[in-house]
Amino acid sequence: MTLNKYYKGIIFSIFLAPLFAWAGCQHNKYAESYFNTGNLYLRLEENRQAINDYDKAIELNPKYASAYNNRGIAYARLGDNRQAIREFDKSIELNPKVPEVYYNRAIISGRLGDEQQAIENYKQAARLGHKGAQEVLKSKGITW
């Protein structure tokens, strides 16, 4: 853990964790608190803890598409690419208009060796305006 991560962790544990814990005691209204806490852990590369907080957010709000996407990112960072795909699939099922999720699924599909699925996801992300996906497709000479 770098010193910067260490200080962020201290700041989080002293100031923000109690606030999020209090807010998390509320029901569905506070799923976003767990989501935000998960995002902090994701930034600190504490992927297992991030997954735990995304789990809580999803438990409170099973239709929280962004929580599924970010949980997928955490699983991918841990090397569980198949679980990451399942998370991205659920996020897309709940909200099919978010280009970043297709882009994330494209990357992981490529890691799993499914180039055709990766291209289809890049195309969908590109159609929804994702610049990175558009650049990937341009570099391969593929239109979307």
Domain that includes residue 23, residue range: 1-87
Distance from C-alpha of 35 to C-alpha of 33, rounded to nearest angstrom: 5
We report the CATH number of the domain holding residue 45 as 1.25.40.10
Per DSSP, the residues of 50-80 read: HHHHHHHHHHH-TT-HHHHHHHHHHHHHTT-
Among 52, 69, 87, give the residue marking a domain's end.
87
Distance from C-alpha of 70 to C-alpha of 60, rounded to nearest angstrom: 16
Quick check: 17 pLDDT over 90?
A: no
Spatial neighbors of 19 by CB under 8 A, at least 6 apart, are: 33
Q: Are residues 122 and 77 in the same domain?
A: no
Q: Are residues 83 and 101 in the same domain?
A: no
pLDDT at 118: 98
Q: Are residues 59 and 102 in the same domain?
A: no
Question: What predicted TM-score, i.e. pTM, was given to this entire model?
Answer: 0.81
Q: Are residues 110 and 45 in the same domain?
A: no
CA distances from 127 to 18, 21, 100, 122, 130 (A): 42, 39, 11, 9, 7
Distance from C-alpha of 37 to C-alpha of 7, rounded to nearest angstrom: 16
Q: Are residues 2 and 42 in the same domain?
A: yes
Residue 72 within a domain: yes
- The whole-chain average pLDDT of the chain stands at 89
pLDDT at 11: 57
Is 74 buried (19+), middle (13-18) or exposed (0-12) by CB count in 10 A? Answer: buried
Q: Are residues 17 and 81 in the same domain?
A: yes
Residue 92 within a domain: no
Q: Are residues 23 and 83 in the same domain?
A: yes
pLDDT at 121: 98
Q: Are residues 83 and 28 in the same domain?
A: yes
Look at 26-30, 87-91, 101-105, 140-144 and tell me which has the smallest mean pLDDT: 26-30
Average pLDDT value for residue range 61-77 = 98
Nearest to 20 by CA among 45, 48, 49: 49
Q: Are residues 3 and 46 in the same domain?
A: yes
Distance from C-alpha of 85 to C-alpha of 97, rounded to nearest angstrom: 17
**Domains of the chain: total:** 2
pLDDT at 26: 56
